[in-house]
Amino acid sequence: MRQRFQGADQRRIGLTGGLATGKSTVGQLLAGRFGLPVLDADLYARGALAPGSPGALAVLARYGEPVAAGAGDTIDRAALGRIVFADPVERRWLEQLVHPLVRQRFEAELERLADAPVVVLMLPLLFEAGLESLCSEVWLVMCRPETQLRRLIGRDGLPEPEALARIAAQWPLARKQALADRLINNDGDPEALEQQLAAALALNP
């Protein structure tokens, strides 16, 4: 297990899970119901590939027309996803481009929030990208595999084989479970989920 953040004055909750397990739902609850600042890696990753950004230009230089979405150096994210989830080499290339930019954004935001007693870092690839050192504890959002598959197909409109391939591209939940400090079960109703979060926040980190 990699070293966790050891700052005495701030609790940093690393929020992770698999595709479509409900990380965003948990992040929204922690922000809206519990009033915590939530830093979202997906949001920062989108910013790293914003139209005209160095990241977007690098992607267009590598893949060209198949990932271009009209004028203005805009990336067709669905097309890019089909490429990188089908080829581990291309996925690693994209991660090596985006992950350092996301980490820089996190470090800047954490500096800005230095006086906040609790900060939530929503990091879908927390373990895969080796970002445990940013967090004092890690919460893993879990659900049954059939629930995860159904949610992913419904959310992204993917055929089942493609959805299964995207799930398989990340670490298995069982591997992440062995490294997490808290497990958040997202198979139940919203009230049960909120109760779990309240209980987890009340525990000593």
Do 154 and 168 lie in one domain? The reply is yes
- Kindly report, residue by residue over 59-74, the tens digit of the pLDDT: 999 999 999 997 778 9
**26 and 83 share one domain:** no
Kindly report the pTM of this predicted structure.
Answer: 0.91
Name which of 115, 110, 105 is nearest 41 in CA terms. Answer: 105
Domain, as residue range, for 68: 45-112
CA angle at 113 for the pair 201 and 134, rounded to the nearest 5°: 65
Domains contained in the chain, number: 2
Domain C-terminal end among 89, 112, 135: 112
Residues 124-167 have pLDDT tens digits of 999 988 889 999 999 999 999 999 999 999 999 999 999 999 99
Do 49 and 150 lie in one domain? The reply is: no
Q: Are residues 160 and 137 in the same domain?
A: yes
Residue 184 CA to residue 120 CA, distance in Å, equals 14
Same domain for 10 and 59, yes or no, is no
C-alpha to C-alpha distance for 9 and 136, rounded to whole angstroms: 11
Mark whether 22 and 100 lie in a shared domain: no
Residues 129, 86 within the same domain: no
Domain boundary among the residues 53, 86, 112 is at 112
